[in-house]
Amino acid sequence: MQKIIILDFGSQTTQLIGRRVRELDTFCEIMPYNKFPKDDPSVIGVILSGSPYSVHDPEAFKVELSQFMGKIPVLGICYGAQFISHTLGGKVEKADSREYGRANLVQFDATNPLFRGFTENSQVWMSHGDTITAIPQDFKCIASTDNVKYAAYASETQPVWAVQFHPEVFHSLQGTQLLRNFVVDICGSKQDWSADSFVETTVAELKAQIGDDKVILGLSGGVDSSVAAVLLNKAIGKNLTCIFVDHGMLRKNEFRDVMHDYECLGLNVIGVDASEKFFADLAGVSDPEQKRKIIGRDFVEVFNAEAKKQTGAKWLAQGTIYPDRIESLNITGKVIKSHHNVGGLPKEMNLQLCEPLKWLFKDEVRRVGRSMGMPEHLITRHPFPGPGLAVRILGDITPEKVRILQDADDIYIRGLREYKTRLSGEEARRVLAAGVPADMQNGEIEVSLYDQIWQAGTILLSTVRSVGVMGDERTYEHPVALRAVTSTDAMTADWAHLPYDFMAKVSNEIINKVKGVNRVCYDISSKPPATIEWE
């Protein structure tokens, strides 16, 4: 199968490059800058990512360009463009001021295949402290902005292109066109990577891999594990047993609703209500890290006890997706995240690992779910923390506090799903690119607030009480904080600018209907410096 290799030099947007390439129905792999796969005939092109480094830093990441340059097409992005120039005899110098934000291509070579289909003054996104002031011999400038002479350049003798802007971000309005020109026209992608082809190929591979063996899978109710379960069910049917553990801190009616959804999908699911055990072990514990450890430990114990009952099982299936497996580089060059496995499973179980979604990004997982006919409300579910509402309750956990938070959160999430807005321009493009189903009419789409948001939830400030007045009585109850963020991968996130009329309606409904709450706040902090969850 054809593939594009993306060499990661530590940029925060490297995964976004990968997603954009996959959106072109082309398979790609993200690899650390120093792990280019040699002698792989399936590689049809290479993209060099950005980096937090300057090419002049002693610790800067470097790659031997001769491994691929002159053999297959190469595209350098930001640091990648500067590294190519610096290595081949050009000049990279510190810019007078950091070039960050929107810029327009005031000049570009419309005859160059990289810019085929571009319109005049196309908007691009810059983010760099250094700038290219001279390009190597046998290279030519193919695009400029008002402030950046060599916004893009290309070799006159080899299939090498480089851009100092970021075509992968939404702010580069024709960035997808540029990547299409490189991946499809220049590299010659056959564009045969799609959700339908993935399902067909993966089901066949799972049948060959597993045969008549039995598989167990831990369901969370989230997108990844649900899609993995349906995919495995298509391949091996009743030889798959799914285990769904209720720790008592799911959203309101979630255990009942998700079990119903799974049964409608024809899955063989065992539901385990272990809420009493979790509440007992969490009694009096308020430290966030300790809460997480207790819940993680108890989950493993409950899951293992149920898994041992599945005699003859030889495989453990996980909803691991590609971002979980990509080796990420921090500024020291050390691997800080690599492939993860479920911890705590007894060695005597001797289970082999099965990860049917291991090559997919989150938006691709959703497309695969739609390809298999899964209900939309399962596919578009927001990420939800494993410890559940326990990390959205400040202080110790009690069934009553969970009840209060469930009721308030239910009003908030239902409100987000019901409130529709019309979007156009960049906002519409962002939502559509995330895989949200919507019809464009007159340049606009209508979607719910829920589908515009990466993640939303309610936090109970149970360690705080505030004074209020209801009727003629003074109240002294808890505030709740509403949280909603927009993001592409949860590495960074911005607070969602929700409409005032929506916030007023939700606030009134929560205060009027949820006993124990008399004040509603809205969290307007971004990540960084804040995190998406409070604990």
Residues known to be catalytic? 78, 166, 168
Q: H or E segment at 313?
A: strand 313-317
Collapsing DSSP states into helix, strand and coil, what is residue 459? strand
Query: Vertex 114, ends 109 and 120: CA angle to 5°?
Result: 45
Partners of residue 216 on adjacent β-strands: 241, 316
Amino acid at 334: K
**Distance between CA atoms of 153 and 151, rounded to whole angstroms?**
7
Interacting residues of 405 by C-beta distance below 8 A, sequence separation 6+: 389, 392, 393, 458, 459, 460, 480
Interacting residues of 482 by C-beta distance below 8 A, sequence separation 6+: 412, 456, 458, 459, 503, 506, 520, 521, 522, 523
Q: Are the beta carbons of 9 and 80 closer than 8 angstroms?
A: yes
Q: What is the DSSP string of 324-352?
A: HHSPEE-TTS-EEE---------GGG-PE
Q: Are the beta carbons of 479 and 466 closer than 8 angstroms?
A: yes
Among 484, 485, 479, CA closest to 520: 479
Sign of the torsion formed by the C-alpha atoms of 205, 207, 213 and 216: positive
Q: Are the beta carbons of 464 and 478 closer than 8 angstroms?
A: yes
Tokens (6 digits) for 80: 């990648």
Q: Are the beta carbons of 175 and 8 closer than 8 angstroms?
A: no
Name the DSSP class of 181.
I
Q: Are the beta carbons of 371 and 233 closer than 8 angstroms?
A: no
Among 206, 319, 300, CA closest to 247: 300
**Distance between CA atoms of 178 and 423, rounded to whole angstroms?**
24
Amino acid at 449: L
Q: Are the beta carbons of 479 and 520 closer than 8 angstroms?
A: yes
**Distance between CA atoms of 201 and 151, rounded to whole angstroms?**
41
